Structure 1
């Protein structure tokens, strides 16, 4: 468990209106004072956390969860150019599974919006369902709180990823614990029950759900999933799990009207007897794909990125991104077909930092930019980074003097990388 505790360092995303500066304990690749991270206001209020970002031609979509007394509210707003639209409450409840690592996500497709909540289905710690909320651009109405999966088991369903797919649908993937029923008292404690699975489906803008499929019958229990759409179709990145407890990152691709077999990235051979709560990130532009991931193999925590130019069929050699002891919690965004920006957390032993760096598919790295100095607790959440209008936007959770959570945001112009 020592390795598990070591790798489950926490993270979040924070950013000030400050000049990013070179820290004495970081190497010479860290950015100089000429780089600016600009703070921006956002429409969330106090007692808000779990920010998610999604950028499209229709704006930067920002969702979060606000808690008042015992009620959770899923809210969102849209940044268009430099102005936020009015805040909308999608849904609320007193029986949600509200968790630092498993949280609602949001996506938009031609004016239709898809998001989700996690609603408890029984009294168990990890018994909850994925409920979808879909706004139709055609009807201009919400279809609220309909269930994604049809198994009916009182088990864990979460760690959702979603992407616009085609003109009028969304591709969605998630972790599904239907086979763990009867043995899933805690993560990875399956007894005679089955393992956590990875599943996917297509959600149409009329609310219908098609093509629900099991992608992998045994995966890591609580690492986030990631999905993108290539010129050939969906591609999914996730933390796999072998019978020998090797938990490296794998990808699956939709090609020739079927799913490929899992393909391991990096071959880190990270053997760990519990979930590190540290999944991958993926981005695609047509046939170009970039993946970022964390590994704690050999008790040497690292963050890697790798590129593909053939829809994920093959990948170039992994490139190490961190310069210190990595914490992980990665994000990635392709900015051209051959360049990406990776966001990750690392620590120098005394402080934890959100870092970002541009990387090209030939291995050339830009300056490692310090986005923020953050708290290292679980409640800070996962860093969020999203590309919109030639700027990379960041969102994170901070805390008031009274320990109340609130969300802050900033951006970094691509030209500053």
Structure 2
């Protein structure tokens, strides 16, 4: 049985009447009127959503999905010197699993771009595979090839990717063990593999046998190698859903360990995974928890490649919704973004947090919606410039909005 249980706070906001959600014009005006923010026109058109941002070597890269009737289209463009490249259609299909939380990942290694889509593999609602696409310049090197090679019609998704040596490291939630007749034996696992620049898949390995079913994963590269953070699921009947980390060390994946013991007991999945960034031996992790019936967003730093972490710092003002992102800055501090309620609306908040635990005053980027379709806002930094993208809802339609500002 698939669990998609959201917290009451999320449900209460997503069920509000339309008049409780500010109109698009109001939201744009709020952003534009702020002296810090610069609106960036982006190349998405039509019904566009699910942006993914990656900053690499001074260039901002973005993938997104556009929908035309039953057809879903994955597109890509890059932004440099205040100009976008001509959008590239990477792939399209009418048999995709298009989801607000489980959306295409993006990674850049030199001139090579790696993305993914989720393609239905059987009639079950959550039976789909991860299909990868490799792009170099305007050329598709390899299209729609499988990341998961188990051949079992089950859920495979929540992909995260990072460039690694002569290719990419990818991690994903894998449902190959969820098709048992005895439902008590069904459990989602976490896997990782290297994707070569030619599309070869190697070193495919299970790195945690039992994890939360539908929370996004995050991967980063430290001096010691890859680290993956995700929402775990305890082995006993307690159903503890805390954030865990697993590290590559001495040529193999180590044992998963808790980033912090929230002791969040939840008989279901909150669809609200952690965010991660790495900078040399430094790691920053941001996550949402509602342990002790207190929804909040926490941040913690590591200075030893993710082996140990400092005390978590709370950044929200209360009753947070989550959907977090984080990015290191040049001085070792980090920016954190999240959603939280404010009066009758929901706002996208951002704050700078320092490794000694203190933080600046938070800023509001925009008003938005807690509805699932608003997705997960994205944030990236290039030198002293911050870029933010999110899905803006307009009834049944949607568009991607972007702003930038200098620190």
Q: Which residue of 1 aligns with 2:145?
A: 146
Asked whether the 8 Å contact 1:20–1:369 carries over to 2, the reply is: no
Asked whether the 8 Å contact 2:330–2:383 carries over to 1, the reply is: no
For residue 288 of structure 2, give the secondary structure of its aligned residue in structure 1: strand
Asked whether the 8 Å contact 2:283–2:306 carries over to 1, the reply is: yes
Q: Which residue of 2 aligns with 1:352?
A: 346
Count the aligned residue pairs.
392
Instruction: Report deviation, 1:348.
Output: 3.2
For residue 99 of structure 2, give the secondary structure of its aligned residue in structure 1: coil
Q: Which residue of 2 aligns with 1:254?
A: 248
1:4-15 to structure 2, matched below 5 A, reads: 4-6=6-8, 8-9=10-11
Instruction: Report deviation, 1:136.
Output: 4.2
1:152-200, CA deviations, whole angstroms, 9 ceiling, x for partnerless residues? Answer: 000000000000001x2000000000000145xxxxxx71442000000
Matched, 1:267 2:265: no
Matched, 1:343 2:355: no
Matched, 1:66 2:66: yes
Asked whether the 8 Å contact 1:7–1:276 carries over to 2, the reply is: no
- In structure 2, the CA distance between the partners of 1:37 and 1:2, relative to structure 1 (3 Å rule), is same
Asked whether the 8 Å contact 1:394–1:410 carries over to 2, the reply is: yes
1:311-343, CA deviations, whole angstroms, 9 ceiling, x for partnerless residues? Answer: 011111100011121111000001135300000
- In structure 2, the CA distance between the partners of 1:358 and 1:17, relative to structure 1 (3 Å rule), is farther
5+ residue gaps, structure 2, are 15-20
Matched, 1:204 2:196: yes
Q: Which residue of 2 aligns with 1:288?
A: 282
Give TM-score scaled by structure 2 length. 0.92
Instruction: Report deviation, 1:263.
Output: 1.3
Distance in 2 of aligned mates of 1:3 and 1:44: 31
5+ residue gaps, structure 1, are 22-32, 184-189
Q: Which residue of 1 aligns with 2:320?
A: 326
For residue 292 of structure 2, give the secondary structure of its aligned residue in structure 1: helix
CA RMSD of aligned residues (A): 2.2
Give TM-score scaled by structure 1 length. 0.89
Asked whether the 8 Å contact 2:337–2:348 carries over to 1, the reply is: yes
1:84-95 to structure 2, matched below 5 A, reads: 84-95=84-95
Q: Which residue of 1 aligns with 2:178?
A: 180
Asked whether the 8 Å contact 2:369–2:393 carries over to 1, the reply is: no
Larger deviation, residues 117-126 vs 382-391: 382-391
Distance in 2 of aligned mates of 1:132 and 1:387: 26
The structure 2 residue matched to 1:297, chosen from 291, 302, 306, is 291
Asked whether the 8 Å contact 2:65–2:73 carries over to 1, the reply is: yes
Matched, 1:131 2:136: no
Distance in 2 of aligned mates of 1:8 and 1:162: 28
> Looking at both structures, which has the greater relative contact order when contacts are Cα pairs under 8 Å and sequence separation is at least 6?
1
Q: Which residue of 2 aligns with 1:106?
A: 106
Distance in 1 of aligned mates of 2:376 and 2:297: 15
